[in-house]
Protein backbone atom coordinates (compact mmCIF):
# COMPACT_ATOMS: atom_id res chain seq x y z
CA UNK A 1 0.00 0.00 0.00
CA UNK A 2 1.27 3.43 -0.90
CA UNK A 3 1.03 5.92 1.97
CA UNK A 4 0.81 9.68 1.46
CA UNK A 5 0.54 11.60 4.76
CA UNK A 6 -1.02 15.06 4.52
CA UNK A 7 -0.37 18.12 6.62
CA UNK A 8 -2.84 20.54 8.12
CA UNK A 9 -3.55 23.69 6.16
CA UNK A 10 -3.82 23.94 2.39
CA UNK A 11 -3.53 20.17 1.94
CA UNK A 12 -6.81 19.77 3.87
CA UNK A 13 -9.25 21.40 1.52
CA UNK A 14 -11.81 20.16 -0.96
CA UNK A 15 -9.65 21.34 -3.84
CA UNK A 16 -6.62 19.48 -2.49
CA UNK A 17 -8.71 16.32 -2.08
CA UNK A 18 -9.99 16.68 -5.64
CA UNK A 19 -6.43 17.04 -6.95
CA UNK A 20 -5.32 13.99 -4.95
CA UNK A 21 -8.14 11.85 -6.35
CA UNK A 22 -7.37 13.08 -9.88
CA UNK A 23 -3.78 11.87 -9.42
CA UNK A 24 -5.09 8.50 -8.22
CA UNK A 25 -7.30 8.28 -11.32
CA UNK A 26 -4.27 8.96 -13.52
CA UNK A 27 -2.35 6.16 -11.81
CA UNK A 28 -5.28 3.77 -12.33
CA UNK A 29 -5.46 4.73 -16.01
CA UNK A 30 -1.72 4.28 -16.52
CA UNK A 31 -1.63 0.57 -15.61
CA UNK A 32 -5.26 -0.47 -15.98
CA UNK A 33 -5.68 -1.34 -12.29
CA UNK A 34 -8.37 0.43 -10.25
CA UNK A 35 -7.07 1.91 -6.99
CA UNK A 36 -8.60 1.50 -3.58
CA UNK A 37 -8.20 4.99 -2.15
CA UNK A 38 -8.47 5.59 1.59
CA UNK A 39 -8.62 8.90 3.46
CA UNK A 40 -8.16 8.82 7.26
CA UNK A 41 -8.74 11.83 9.49
CA UNK A 42 -8.71 12.20 13.25
CA UNK A 43 -12.07 13.05 14.80
CA UNK A 44 -13.43 14.21 18.10
CA UNK A 45 -15.17 11.68 20.31
CA UNK A 46 -17.07 9.12 18.25
CA UNK A 47 -18.97 6.06 19.37
CA UNK A 48 -18.50 3.67 16.42
CA UNK A 49 -21.70 1.79 17.27
CA UNK A 50 -23.71 5.02 17.31
CA UNK A 51 -22.23 6.03 13.97
CA UNK A 52 -23.05 2.62 12.52
CA UNK A 53 -26.59 2.94 13.83
CA UNK A 54 -26.94 6.34 12.13
CA UNK A 55 -26.00 4.92 8.70
CA UNK A 56 -27.38 1.40 9.18
CA UNK A 57 -29.27 -0.01 6.22
CA UNK A 58 -30.42 -3.65 6.15
CA UNK A 59 -29.40 -3.97 2.49
CA UNK A 60 -25.78 -2.91 3.09
CA UNK A 61 -22.95 -5.02 4.45
CA UNK A 62 -21.69 -3.98 7.86
CA UNK A 63 -19.17 -5.19 10.41
CA UNK A 64 -18.68 -4.16 13.99
CA UNK A 65 -16.43 -5.42 16.79
CA UNK A 66 -15.66 -3.88 20.17
CA UNK A 67 -14.07 -4.81 23.45
CA UNK A 68 -15.25 -2.11 25.88
CA UNK A 69 -12.76 -3.05 28.59
CA UNK A 70 -9.88 -2.25 26.19
CA UNK A 71 -11.69 0.80 24.76
CA UNK A 72 -11.18 -0.50 21.23
CA UNK A 73 -13.96 -0.53 18.64
CA UNK A 74 -14.18 -0.76 14.85
CA UNK A 75 -17.20 -0.27 12.62
CA UNK A 76 -17.63 -0.33 8.87
CA UNK A 77 -20.54 -0.23 6.43
CA UNK A 78 -21.21 -0.51 2.69
CA UNK A 79 -18.91 -2.53 0.47
CA UNK A 80 -16.37 -0.79 -1.76
CA UNK A 81 -14.25 -3.84 -2.56
CA UNK A 82 -15.14 -7.38 -1.56
CA UNK A 83 -15.60 -10.99 -2.53
CA UNK A 84 -17.06 -14.26 -1.26
CA UNK A 85 -15.27 -17.62 -1.37
CA UNK A 86 -15.99 -21.25 -0.67
CA UNK A 87 -14.20 -24.58 -0.59
CA UNK A 88 -11.15 -25.94 1.23
CA UNK A 89 -8.90 -23.19 -0.17
CA UNK A 90 -11.16 -20.31 0.93
CA UNK A 91 -8.50 -18.86 3.24
CA UNK A 92 -5.87 -18.88 0.51
CA UNK A 93 -8.31 -17.31 -1.96
CA UNK A 94 -9.14 -14.60 0.56
CA UNK A 95 -5.45 -14.05 1.34
CA UNK A 96 -4.60 -13.62 -2.36
CA UNK A 97 -7.49 -11.22 -2.93
CA UNK A 98 -6.58 -9.09 0.08
CA UNK A 99 -2.92 -9.00 -0.93
CA UNK A 100 -3.76 -8.00 -4.52
CA UNK A 101 -6.12 -5.26 -3.34
CA UNK A 102 -3.61 -3.74 -0.92
CA UNK A 103 -0.95 -3.84 -3.66
CA UNK A 104 -3.17 -1.36 -5.54
CA UNK A 105 -4.16 0.84 -2.61
CA UNK A 106 -3.29 4.47 -1.92
CA UNK A 107 -3.86 5.81 1.59
CA UNK A 108 -3.62 9.37 2.80
CA UNK A 109 -4.49 11.42 5.86
CA UNK A 110 -3.61 11.00 9.52
CA UNK A 111 -1.88 7.69 9.00
CA UNK A 112 -0.01 7.78 12.33
CA UNK A 113 -3.32 7.38 14.18
CA UNK A 114 -4.04 4.04 15.85
CA UNK A 115 -6.23 1.96 13.51
CA UNK A 116 -5.89 4.45 10.62
CA UNK A 117 -6.06 3.23 7.04
CA UNK A 118 -8.31 0.78 5.21
CA UNK A 119 -9.22 -2.61 6.65
CA UNK A 120 -10.67 -5.78 5.31
CA UNK A 121 -13.45 -7.07 7.51
CA UNK A 122 -13.73 -10.86 7.31
CA UNK A 123 -16.18 -13.59 8.23
CA UNK A 124 -15.51 -17.29 7.70
CA UNK A 125 -18.19 -19.93 8.22
CA UNK A 126 -17.55 -22.83 10.56
CA UNK A 127 -17.48 -25.19 7.56
CA UNK A 128 -16.08 -24.44 4.11
CA UNK A 129 -18.91 -25.70 1.90
CA UNK A 130 -21.68 -23.53 0.51
CA UNK A 131 -25.35 -23.83 1.44
CA UNK A 132 -27.80 -22.01 -0.86
CA UNK A 133 -30.08 -21.36 2.11
CA UNK A 134 -27.33 -20.02 4.39
CA UNK A 135 -27.38 -16.41 5.55
CA UNK A 136 -23.62 -16.04 4.98
CA UNK A 137 -21.15 -17.60 2.52
CA UNK A 138 -18.27 -19.80 3.75
CA UNK A 139 -16.00 -16.76 3.45
CA UNK A 140 -16.56 -13.07 2.83
CA UNK A 141 -14.01 -10.26 2.93
CA UNK A 142 -14.75 -6.63 2.18
CA UNK A 143 -13.47 -3.10 2.58
CA UNK A 144 -16.29 -0.78 3.71
CA UNK A 145 -17.03 2.63 2.27
CA UNK A 146 -17.04 4.12 5.79
CA UNK A 147 -14.96 3.08 8.79
CA UNK A 148 -15.00 4.55 12.27
CA UNK A 149 -12.48 3.37 14.87
CA UNK A 150 -11.72 4.04 18.49
CA UNK A 151 -8.48 3.25 20.31
CA UNK A 152 -8.55 4.54 23.89
CA UNK A 153 -9.08 8.32 23.56
CA UNK A 154 -8.18 8.55 19.85
CA UNK A 155 -10.84 8.43 17.16
CA UNK A 156 -10.38 7.96 13.45
CA UNK A 157 -12.86 8.23 10.57
CA UNK A 158 -11.91 6.61 7.27
CA UNK A 159 -13.54 7.04 3.86
CA UNK A 160 -12.71 4.44 1.22
CA UNK A 161 -13.53 4.55 -2.49
CA UNK A 162 -12.57 2.75 -5.67
CA UNK A 163 -10.97 5.02 -8.26
CA UNK A 164 -11.00 3.77 -11.83
CA UNK A 165 -9.75 5.29 -15.08
CA UNK A 166 -13.17 6.87 -15.77
CA UNK A 167 -14.25 7.71 -12.20
CA UNK A 168 -16.03 11.00 -11.48
CA UNK A 169 -13.50 12.27 -8.96
CA UNK A 170 -15.48 15.44 -8.32
CA UNK A 171 -18.43 13.41 -7.00
CA UNK A 172 -16.07 11.20 -4.96
CA UNK A 173 -14.29 14.19 -3.45
CA UNK A 174 -17.53 15.91 -2.47
CA UNK A 175 -18.90 12.73 -0.86
CA UNK A 176 -15.72 12.14 1.15
CA UNK A 177 -15.58 15.80 2.18
CA UNK A 178 -19.16 15.74 3.43
CA UNK A 179 -18.63 12.48 5.29
CA UNK A 180 -15.57 13.71 7.14
CA UNK A 181 -17.35 16.95 8.02
CA UNK A 182 -20.15 14.86 9.53
CA UNK A 183 -17.74 12.69 11.49
CA UNK A 184 -15.75 15.66 12.80
CA UNK A 185 -18.85 17.15 14.41
CA UNK A 186 -21.08 14.12 14.79
CA UNK A 187 -24.58 15.09 15.93
CA UNK A 188 -25.74 12.52 18.47
CA UNK A 189 -29.00 14.37 19.02
CA UNK A 190 -30.13 13.38 15.54
CA UNK A 191 -29.85 9.66 16.24
CA UNK A 192 -32.83 7.34 16.39
CA UNK A 193 -34.08 5.82 19.63
CA UNK A 194 -32.32 2.52 18.95
CA UNK A 195 -28.94 4.24 18.87
CA UNK A 196 -29.70 5.87 22.24
CA UNK A 197 -30.77 2.50 23.63
CA UNK A 198 -34.44 3.47 23.96
CA UNK A 199 -37.45 1.23 23.40
CA UNK A 200 -38.52 1.33 19.78
CA UNK A 201 -39.38 -0.96 16.94
CA UNK A 202 -36.62 -3.52 17.17
CA UNK A 203 -36.82 -3.73 20.97
CA UNK A 204 -40.26 -5.22 21.63
CA UNK A 205 -41.46 -3.73 24.89
CA UNK A 206 -42.61 -6.30 27.44
CA UNK A 207 -42.36 -9.21 25.03
CA UNK A 208 -41.14 -12.53 26.35
CA UNK A 209 -41.42 -14.95 23.42
CA UNK A 210 -41.06 -18.66 24.10
CA UNK A 211 -37.87 -20.16 22.60
CA UNK A 212 -38.48 -23.17 20.34
CA UNK A 213 -35.75 -25.81 20.26
CA UNK A 214 -34.36 -26.57 16.80
CA UNK A 215 -34.54 -30.34 16.38
CA UNK A 216 -36.51 -33.10 18.10
CA UNK A 217 -37.13 -33.02 21.87
CA UNK A 218 -34.15 -34.21 23.94
CA UNK A 219 -32.03 -34.32 20.79
CA UNK A 220 -29.12 -32.55 22.48
CA UNK A 221 -29.01 -34.91 25.45
CA UNK A 222 -29.21 -37.92 23.16
CA UNK A 223 -26.39 -36.49 21.04
CA UNK A 224 -24.24 -36.04 24.15
CA UNK A 225 -24.81 -39.70 25.04
CA UNK A 226 -23.85 -40.78 21.53
CA UNK A 227 -20.74 -38.59 21.63
CA UNK A 228 -19.70 -40.10 24.96
CA UNK A 229 -19.97 -43.52 23.36
CA UNK A 230 -17.73 -42.33 20.53
CA UNK A 231 -15.20 -41.05 23.07
CA UNK A 232 -15.21 -44.39 24.90
CA UNK A 233 -14.62 -46.22 21.61
CA UNK A 234 -11.70 -43.91 20.77
CA UNK A 235 -13.30 -42.11 17.80
CA UNK A 236 -12.25 -38.77 19.28
CA UNK A 237 -11.29 -37.30 22.65
CA UNK A 238 -13.55 -34.27 22.61
CA UNK A 239 -16.41 -32.86 20.57
CA UNK A 240 -18.31 -29.60 21.02
CA UNK A 241 -22.06 -29.92 20.49
CA UNK A 242 -24.34 -26.93 20.16
CA UNK A 243 -28.00 -26.19 20.64
CA UNK A 244 -30.08 -23.64 18.76
CA UNK A 245 -33.43 -22.12 19.71
CA UNK A 246 -35.70 -19.97 17.57
CA UNK A 247 -37.77 -17.05 18.80
CA UNK A 248 -40.30 -14.94 16.95
CA UNK A 249 -41.55 -11.50 18.00
CA UNK A 250 -44.45 -9.28 16.97
CA UNK A 251 -42.12 -6.65 15.48
CA UNK A 252 -38.68 -6.59 13.92
CA UNK A 253 -35.63 -6.90 16.12
CA UNK A 254 -32.98 -4.24 15.59
CA UNK A 255 -29.57 -5.98 15.73
CA UNK A 256 -27.64 -2.89 16.83
CA UNK A 257 -30.02 -2.09 19.68
CA UNK A 258 -29.51 -5.62 21.03
CA UNK A 259 -25.78 -5.26 20.48
CA UNK A 260 -25.67 -2.12 22.60
CA UNK A 261 -27.11 -4.05 25.52
CA UNK A 262 -24.58 -6.84 25.01
CA UNK A 263 -21.59 -4.50 25.10
CA UNK A 264 -22.92 -2.79 28.24
CA UNK A 265 -23.52 -6.03 30.11
CA UNK A 266 -20.43 -7.92 28.93
CA UNK A 267 -17.62 -5.33 28.78
CA UNK A 268 -14.89 -8.00 29.01
CA UNK A 269 -16.22 -9.76 25.90
CA UNK A 270 -15.95 -8.86 22.24
CA UNK A 271 -19.34 -7.62 21.08
CA UNK A 272 -19.82 -8.01 17.33
CA UNK A 273 -22.29 -7.67 14.48
CA UNK A 274 -21.92 -8.87 10.89
CA UNK A 275 -24.59 -7.85 8.36
CA UNK A 276 -25.01 -9.75 5.10
CA UNK A 277 -26.68 -6.96 3.12
CA UNK A 278 -29.92 -8.95 2.84
CA UNK A 279 -31.46 -7.92 6.15
CA UNK A 280 -29.82 -10.57 8.34
CA UNK A 281 -27.24 -9.89 11.04
CA UNK A 282 -25.13 -12.22 13.14
CA UNK A 283 -24.51 -10.67 16.55
CA UNK A 284 -23.02 -11.75 19.85
CA UNK A 285 -20.68 -11.14 22.75
CA UNK A 286 -17.87 -13.66 22.70
CA UNK A 287 -15.26 -14.16 25.42
CA UNK A 288 -12.92 -15.91 23.01
CA UNK A 289 -10.22 -14.36 20.84
CA UNK A 290 -8.92 -16.73 18.19
CA UNK A 291 -5.71 -14.88 17.36
CA UNK A 292 -4.24 -11.38 17.15
CA UNK A 293 -1.17 -10.21 15.25
CA UNK A 294 0.52 -6.91 16.09
CA UNK A 295 3.79 -6.32 14.29
CA UNK A 296 5.75 -9.54 14.79
CA UNK A 297 3.80 -10.65 17.87
CA UNK A 298 1.09 -13.31 18.09
CA UNK A 299 -1.44 -13.57 20.89
CA UNK A 300 -4.02 -16.30 21.31
CA UNK A 301 -5.54 -18.24 24.18
CA UNK A 302 -6.97 -21.54 25.35
CA UNK A 303 -10.46 -21.16 26.78
CA UNK A 304 -12.38 -24.25 27.90
CA UNK A 305 -14.09 -25.58 30.99
CA UNK A 306 -16.79 -23.48 32.58
CA UNK A 307 -19.05 -22.96 35.55
CA UNK A 308 -21.67 -20.42 36.56
CA UNK A 309 -21.10 -17.31 38.69
CA UNK A 310 -22.01 -17.44 42.35
CA UNK A 311 -24.73 -15.47 44.11
CA UNK A 312 -22.15 -14.22 46.65
CA UNK A 313 -18.40 -13.77 46.88
CA UNK A 314 -18.16 -16.94 48.96
CA UNK A 315 -20.12 -19.02 46.47
CA UNK A 316 -18.18 -17.49 43.57
CA UNK A 317 -14.88 -18.42 45.22
CA UNK A 318 -16.13 -21.94 45.88
CA UNK A 319 -17.13 -22.37 42.23
CA UNK A 320 -13.73 -21.14 41.04
CA UNK A 321 -11.98 -23.59 43.36
CA UNK A 322 -14.17 -26.43 42.11
CA UNK A 323 -13.42 -25.48 38.50
CA UNK A 324 -9.66 -25.40 39.11
CA UNK A 325 -9.87 -28.80 40.80
CA UNK A 326 -12.19 -30.41 38.24
CA UNK A 327 -10.40 -33.25 36.47
CA UNK A 328 -12.91 -33.16 33.63
CA UNK A 329 -12.55 -29.39 33.04
CA UNK A 330 -8.76 -29.40 33.40
CA UNK A 331 -8.50 -32.18 30.81
CA UNK A 332 -10.79 -30.28 28.47
CA UNK A 333 -8.71 -27.13 28.84
CA UNK A 334 -5.46 -29.05 28.33
CA UNK A 335 -6.79 -30.54 25.09
CA UNK A 336 -7.42 -27.04 23.76
CA UNK A 337 -4.05 -25.69 24.90
CA UNK A 338 -2.05 -28.63 23.52
CA UNK A 339 -3.85 -28.46 20.16
CA UNK A 340 -3.23 -24.73 19.72
CA UNK A 341 0.46 -25.03 20.62
CA UNK A 342 0.89 -28.06 18.35
CA UNK A 343 -0.77 -26.38 15.37
CA UNK A 344 1.28 -23.23 15.81
CA UNK A 345 4.46 -25.28 16.03
CA UNK A 346 3.48 -26.88 12.71
CA UNK A 347 3.79 -23.42 11.18
CA UNK A 348 7.17 -22.82 12.76
CA UNK A 349 5.71 -20.73 15.58
CA UNK A 350 7.41 -21.33 18.93
CA UNK A 351 4.34 -20.84 21.12
CA UNK A 352 4.22 -21.09 24.87
CA UNK A 353 1.27 -20.84 27.19
CA UNK A 354 1.27 -19.54 30.72
CA UNK A 355 2.48 -22.10 33.23
CA UNK A 356 -0.58 -21.56 35.39
CA UNK A 357 -4.20 -21.99 34.38
CA UNK A 358 -6.23 -18.92 35.23
CA UNK A 359 -9.95 -18.21 35.39
CA UNK A 360 -11.70 -15.71 33.13
CA UNK A 361 -14.70 -14.35 35.04
CA UNK A 362 -17.58 -12.94 33.03
CA UNK A 363 -20.87 -11.59 34.28
CA UNK A 364 -22.73 -14.90 34.07
CA UNK A 365 -20.08 -17.59 33.58
CA UNK A 366 -16.40 -18.27 34.29
CA UNK A 367 -13.91 -20.25 32.22
CA UNK A 368 -10.50 -21.81 32.58
CA UNK A 369 -8.14 -19.61 30.59
CA UNK A 370 -4.51 -19.78 29.45
CA UNK A 371 -2.97 -16.92 27.38
CA UNK A 372 -0.49 -17.91 24.65
CA UNK A 373 2.13 -15.63 23.11
CA UNK A 374 4.67 -16.13 20.33
CA UNK A 375 6.73 -14.36 17.68
CA UNK A 376 5.45 -14.31 14.10
CA UNK A 377 7.94 -16.09 11.82
CA UNK A 378 8.73 -14.93 8.29
CA UNK A 379 6.35 -16.25 5.65
CA UNK A 380 3.40 -16.64 8.00
CA UNK A 381 0.54 -14.14 8.09
CA UNK A 382 -2.62 -13.64 10.11
CA UNK A 383 -4.98 -15.50 7.78
CA UNK A 384 -2.61 -18.45 7.69
CA UNK A 385 -2.82 -18.57 11.49
CA UNK A 386 -6.62 -18.33 11.37
CA UNK A 387 -6.75 -21.16 8.85
CA UNK A 388 -4.53 -23.39 10.96
CA UNK A 389 -6.24 -22.71 14.28
CA UNK A 390 -9.88 -22.93 13.21
CA UNK A 391 -11.69 -24.71 14.66
CA UNK A 392 -9.88 -25.06 17.96
CA UNK A 393 -11.00 -27.89 20.27
CA UNK A 394 -12.82 -25.21 22.28
CA UNK A 395 -15.51 -25.06 19.57
CA UNK A 396 -14.87 -28.16 17.43
CA UNK A 397 -13.10 -31.03 19.09
CA UNK A 398 -10.06 -33.24 18.83
CA UNK A 399 -8.98 -34.91 16.66
CA UNK A 400 -10.34 -32.13 14.52
CA UNK A 401 -11.48 -34.05 11.44
CA UNK A 402 -13.34 -36.79 13.31
CA UNK A 403 -14.98 -34.33 15.69
CA UNK A 404 -16.08 -31.97 12.89
CA UNK A 405 -17.58 -34.86 10.96
CA UNK A 406 -19.54 -35.93 14.04
CA UNK A 407 -20.82 -32.38 14.57
CA UNK A 408 -22.40 -32.50 11.12
CA UNK A 409 -24.02 -35.83 11.94
CA UNK A 410 -25.38 -34.88 15.37
CA UNK A 411 -26.45 -31.24 15.13
CA UNK A 412 -29.90 -30.68 13.54
CA UNK A 413 -29.00 -27.27 12.07
CA UNK A 414 -26.30 -25.55 10.04
CA UNK A 415 -23.75 -23.67 12.12
CA UNK A 416 -23.10 -20.91 9.60
CA UNK A 417 -21.04 -18.25 11.43
CA UNK A 418 -21.64 -19.82 14.83
CA UNK A 419 -18.26 -20.62 16.47
CA UNK A 420 -16.49 -19.35 13.34
CA UNK A 421 -13.69 -16.77 12.84
CA UNK A 422 -14.72 -13.11 12.53
CA UNK A 423 -12.24 -10.26 12.36
CA UNK A 424 -10.20 -7.71 10.46
CA UNK A 425 -6.82 -7.31 8.81
CA UNK A 426 -4.94 -4.22 7.61
CA UNK A 427 -2.32 -3.57 4.95
CA UNK A 428 0.53 -4.27 7.39
CA UNK A 429 -0.87 -7.71 8.21
CA UNK A 430 -1.99 -6.67 11.68
CA UNK A 431 -5.43 -7.70 12.82
CA UNK A 432 -7.56 -9.66 15.22
CA UNK A 433 -10.07 -12.50 14.93
CA UNK A 434 -12.59 -13.64 17.49
CA UNK A 435 -14.73 -16.78 17.71
CA UNK A 436 -18.43 -16.24 17.04
CA UNK A 437 -19.90 -17.93 20.11
CA UNK A 438 -22.60 -16.60 22.51
CA UNK A 439 -24.33 -15.45 19.37
CA UNK A 440 -27.60 -15.11 17.46
CA UNK A 441 -28.75 -14.73 13.87
CA UNK A 442 -31.25 -11.87 13.59
CA UNK A 443 -33.67 -11.96 10.66
CA UNK A 444 -36.49 -9.43 10.94
CA UNK A 445 -38.84 -10.60 13.68
CA UNK A 446 -37.00 -13.91 14.04
CA UNK A 447 -33.83 -14.82 15.91
CA UNK A 448 -31.90 -18.07 16.15
CA UNK A 449 -29.76 -18.22 19.29
CA UNK A 450 -26.82 -20.63 19.69
CA UNK A 451 -24.88 -22.12 22.60
CA UNK A 452 -22.54 -25.09 22.89
CA UNK A 453 -20.71 -27.28 25.38
CA UNK A 454 -17.56 -29.37 25.21
CA UNK A 455 -18.08 -33.11 25.59
CA UNK A 456 -15.20 -35.15 27.03
CA UNK A 457 -14.87 -38.30 29.08
CA UNK A 458 -16.71 -37.60 32.31
CA UNK A 459 -19.30 -35.27 30.78
CA UNK A 460 -22.90 -35.66 31.85
CA UNK A 461 -25.81 -34.96 29.48
CA UNK A 462 -27.89 -33.16 32.09
CA UNK A 463 -25.02 -30.91 33.21
CA UNK A 464 -24.07 -30.07 29.62
CA UNK A 465 -27.68 -29.20 28.86
CA UNK A 466 -27.76 -26.93 31.92
CA UNK A 467 -24.56 -25.21 30.76
CA UNK A 468 -26.04 -24.47 27.33
CA UNK A 469 -29.26 -23.28 28.97
CA UNK A 470 -27.26 -20.75 31.00
CA UNK A 471 -25.56 -19.43 27.87
CA UNK A 472 -28.80 -19.29 25.86
CA UNK A 473 -30.61 -17.42 28.62
CA UNK A 474 -27.93 -14.73 28.69
CA UNK A 475 -28.46 -14.04 24.97
CA UNK A 476 -32.25 -14.18 25.15
CA UNK A 477 -32.36 -11.76 28.08
CA UNK A 478 -30.36 -9.24 26.06
CA UNK A 479 -32.39 -9.64 22.88
CA UNK A 480 -35.50 -8.66 24.75
CA UNK A 481 -34.15 -6.09 27.15
Of 53, 288, 411, 464, catalytic: 288
Of 79, 238, 301, 432, catalytic: 238
Question: What is the spatial distance between Cα 240 and Cα 232, in angstroms, rounded to a whole number?
Answer: 16
CA 98 to chain centre: 18
- The beta strand positions in 258-338, using DSSP E, are 270-276, 280-286, 289-294, 297-308
Question: What is the spatial distance between Cα 336 and Cα 317, in angstroms, rounded to a whole number?
Answer: 24
Contact 467, 453 (CB under 8 A): yes
- Interhelix angle 48-55/255-265, nearest 10 degrees: 170
Question: What is the spatial distance between Cα 400 and Cα 57, in angstroms, rounded to a whole number?
Answer: 38
Neighbouring CB atoms inside 10 A of 277's CB total 17
467 noted as active-site residue: no
Contact 141, 45 (CB under 8 A): no
Contact 339, 394 (CB under 8 A): no
Contact 251, 445 (CB under 8 A): yes
For residue 225, which of 406, 426, 366 has the smallest C-alpha distance? Answer: 406
238 noted as active-site residue: yes
Question: What is the spatial distance between Cα 291 and Cα 299, in angstroms, rounded to a whole number?
Answer: 6
Positions marked catalytic: 238, 288
Amino acid sequence: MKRIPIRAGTERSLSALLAFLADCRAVAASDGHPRLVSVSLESNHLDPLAVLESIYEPDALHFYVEQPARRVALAGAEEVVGRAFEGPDRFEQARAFIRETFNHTIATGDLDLPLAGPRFFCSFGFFDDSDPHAAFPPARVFVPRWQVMRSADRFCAVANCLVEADSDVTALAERIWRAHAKFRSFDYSSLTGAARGETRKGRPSGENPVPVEVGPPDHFKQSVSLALGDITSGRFRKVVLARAVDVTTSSDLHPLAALNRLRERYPDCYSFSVGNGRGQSFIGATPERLVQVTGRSIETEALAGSTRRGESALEDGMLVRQLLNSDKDIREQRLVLDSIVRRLEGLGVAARGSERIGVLQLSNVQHLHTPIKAALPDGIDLLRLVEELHPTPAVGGTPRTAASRRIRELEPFQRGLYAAPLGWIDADGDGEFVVGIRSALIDGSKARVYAGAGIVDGSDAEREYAETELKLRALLDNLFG
